[in-house]
Amino acid sequence: MSKIPYKIYLEENEMPKEWYNVRADMKKKPAPILHPGTLKPVTVEDLTPIFCEELAKQELDDTTPYIEIPEEIRNFYRMYRPSPLVRAYCLEEKLQTPAHIYYKFEGNNTSGSHKLNSAIAQAYYAKKQGLKGVTTETGAGQWGTALSMACSYFGLDCQVYMVKCSYEQKPFRREVMRTYGAQVTPSPSMNTNVGRKINAEFPGTTGSLGCAISEAVEAATTQEGYRYVLGSVLSQVLLHQSVIGLETSTALKKYGIKADTIIGCAGGGSNLGGLISPFVGEMLRGEANYEIIAVEPASCPSLTRGKYAYDFCDTGKVCPLAKMYTLGSSFIPSANHAGGLRYHGMSSIVSELYDQGLIKARSVEQTSVFEAATTFARVEGILPAPESSHAIKVAIDEALKCKETGEEKNIVFGLTGTGYFDMYAYKNYNDGTMSDYIPTDAELEKYLSTLPKVD
């Protein structure tokens, strides 16, 4: 076997032509999503006033294993994919570990993260349906940026409700979106009923993701020719993100590498779900075994300390309910939390896989995440997003364990993006003013006690 290159790329003819829908291979499927009014499983017809028709179908498709990636989307993917699978030789050297570490780097596009993989698909289906535009929310700004790029490519209007504190803290994110032609509105705004109500109830509030979602949904349903799109959590998003895992799997096979441990950070679960999908598929079909670890912040621990129950996907309770590991839809991480991955719930697919014991979860504190990020940046060159650095932290921990045991494990992790717009958080870390916070059981119970009674 030839020496494994620093970066493993794929040829154009090795690129995926179909997304992989892991639900098709799950014997026990994720629980159906429920209509917020009737609490009955939603139908495609229930979803189409909010979502594009083709995306609504993908959302509810539990049975089709492979779904063709339309040529127009594959053409866009060609501009920035394949993303490299990098052998972290320098990190291995730094850690003096016998483990082989690989990372799949999704930050090589202007939006700086994996979110573009789904943004372009969602914009494509909106365009194909003849819509004028789409609305969405963005927290840290990666999703809004990715969607702005995708919409400008297909000539769609893009309206982004950006959580007010990020809007103010990340003016450059906002300008990137405006450069791609998006309208960016700080949320809560005075444009929507939900926004006006929240502003009246909580004057001076700096907003939340859940509130921005409610505003974006209202904006979509009250304008002719608009639909709402979402960058994480949904099963359709995991489907599009399977391109990450499919490329990874092909790249590993090319060099005869069998992954032992696969690690991903988990906010809403889309990059993790996409990365692991083909590997979990092999596990579900009894073809191979992998250790899979989802990594989340100790200050927003939905998998490790949440409940597996039906909950609202948004604070405003206008979106369908999903059965998922959740901290409660009113949960907001403590004010010192800087590392992203702040969503209260988790993809219903990832939740079900976790419940079935196919994946493990670990929570990590933010100072240790930034320490890992710094180590990584200094040896591998890339300045990682704080979200991605959760996966780096656990990859390093696992590699150090191999040093103890002498195991030559193959560790693969998802490096979801770059952190250039997160320099306030890096500044806090560099100044030594970053702190950790782990919520108490009593605090979590306060939010969990408000879960809707569905089961």
Ligand X SMILES: *Cc1c(COP(=O)(O)O)cnc(C)c1O
What sign does the dihedral 110-115-117-118 (CA atoms) show? negative
State which of positions 236-255 bind ligand X (CB under 6 A).
none
Measured from the CB atom, is 198 or 350 closer to ligand X? 350
115 binds ligand X (CB under 6 A): yes
265 binds ligand X (CB under 6 A): yes
Based on its alpha-carbon atoms, the radius of gyration of the chain, rounded to whole angstroms, reads: 21
117 binds ligand X (CB under 6 A): no
Q: How far apart are CB 239 and ligand X at their closest, in Å?
A: 13
| Look-up of token digits 């990340």 | 170
For residues 165 and 140, is the Cβ–Cβ distance under 8 A? no
Secondary structure letter of residue 36 according to DSSP? T
Phi, psi (5° rounding) for residue 86?
Answer: -100, 130
Which positions ≥6 away from 330 have C-beta within 8 Å? 210, 315, 344, 447, 450
Q: How far apart are CB 107 and ligand X at their closest, in Å?
A: 7
The three-class DSSP label of residue 128 is helix
Strand 100-105 relative to strand 410-415, pairing: parallel
- Name the one range near ligand X by CB under 6 A: 41-49, 85-93, 173-181, 267-275: 267-275
Containing 360, the helix (H) or strand (E) segment is: strand 360-364
Q: Residues, the chain, total?
A: 455
State which of positions 271-290 bind ligand X (CB under 6 A).
271-272
399 binds ligand X (CB under 6 A): no
For residues 106 and 53, is the Cβ–Cβ distance under 8 A? no
Q: Of the candidates 36, 267, 278, 297, which one interacts with ligand X according to CB under 6 A?
A: 267
Measured from the CB atom, is 85 or 257 closer to ligand X? 85
Q: How far apart are CB 361 and ligand X at their closest, in Å?
A: 12
Q: Of the candidates 301, 320, 328, 417, which one interacts with ligand X according to CB under 6 A?
A: 417
Q: How far apart are CB 331 and ligand X at their closest, in Å?
A: 16
Q: How far apart are CB 176 and ligand X at their closest, in Å?
A: 13
Measured from the CB atom, is 198 or 280 closer to ligand X? 280
Phi, psi (5° rounding) for residue 67?
Answer: -125, 125
Q: What CA–CA distance (Å, rounded) separates 250 from 321? A: 35
State which of positions 318-347 bind ligand X (CB under 6 A).
341
Q: What DSSP string runs through 8-47? A: E---GGGS-SEEE-GGGG-SSPPPPPB-TTT-SBP-HHHH
142 binds ligand X (CB under 6 A): yes
Cβ neighbours around 339 below 10 Å, total: 31
- Name the one range near ligand X by CB under 6 A: 148-156, 192-200, 244-252, 261-269: 261-269
Q: Of the candidates 268, 320, 328, 345, which one interacts with ligand X according to CB under 6 A?
A: 268
366 binds ligand X (CB under 6 A): no
State which of positions 19-58 bind ligand X (CB under 6 A).
none
Measured from the CB atom, is 276 or 402 closer to ligand X? 276
Q: How many residues bind ligand X (CB under 6 A)?
A: 18
Q: What CA–CA distance (Å, rounded) separates 140 from 425? A: 12
Structure tokens given for 79: 């501009």
416 binds ligand X (CB under 6 A): yes
Q: Which residue is nearest to ligand X (CB)?
A: 417
| Residues in touch with ligand X (CB under 6 A) | 113, 115, 142, 232, 265-272, 341, 385, 387-388, 416-417
